[in-house]
Structure 1
């Protein structure tokens, strides 16, 4: 059984027991929370598709840790114009563990 859900403008696939990195969530480490924006649930050969979301279905997750990704470099450059700009960015993330997928 797996589910596809949306969070932070992105879509993720979740299975029970899987660890997923999401955009930063402002909850403390160790707390349980639910995700309600479920787009699709596949259970063996049964497929439920939402329009746009599936009603009365949840994904239970537990927050494992918060952190930051590796730094990426952004370089803007124009040749022969004496223009060069460098910038770096580190995105915040939250790792969650999927406890259960509830489908009614």
Structure 2
């Protein structure tokens, strides 16, 4: 059984036991979180799709860790104008392990 959930402005296809990295959420390590924005639930050839969300469908997950992704280098340059600018960014994430899918 799998589900498509929406969190942090993105959509993820998840199944029980999967570990995924999502945008950082306010939850402690080891805490159970419930995602109620479920877009679809499927099992084999059977697929139920919401419009846009499935009523009553939930996905339960456990927070494994918080962290930061690798640095993304940003470099801007205007040739022949003596302009160079360097920067970087590290995005925060929360790693979760999917538990039960209900709905």
Aligned 1:6-85 pairs, distance under 5 A: 6-85=6-85
Q: Name structure 2 gaps, 5 residues minimum.
A: none
- Give the SS at the match of 2:17: coil
Alpha-carbon distance, 1:70 to partner: 0.5
Task: Name the count of aligned residue pairs.
Answer: 103
TM-score by length of 2: 0.97
Q: Measure the CA separation in 1 of the matches of 2:72 and 2:33.
A: 30
C-alpha deviation, 1:33, in angstroms: 1.0
Q: Which runs of 5+ in 1 are unaligned?
A: none
How many Å apart are 1:38 and its aligned residue?
0.7
Aligned counterpart, 1:5: 5
**Counterparts of 2:80 and 2:42 in 1: how far apart (Å)?**
55
Moved over 3 A (4+): none
Superposed CA RMSD in Å reads 0.6
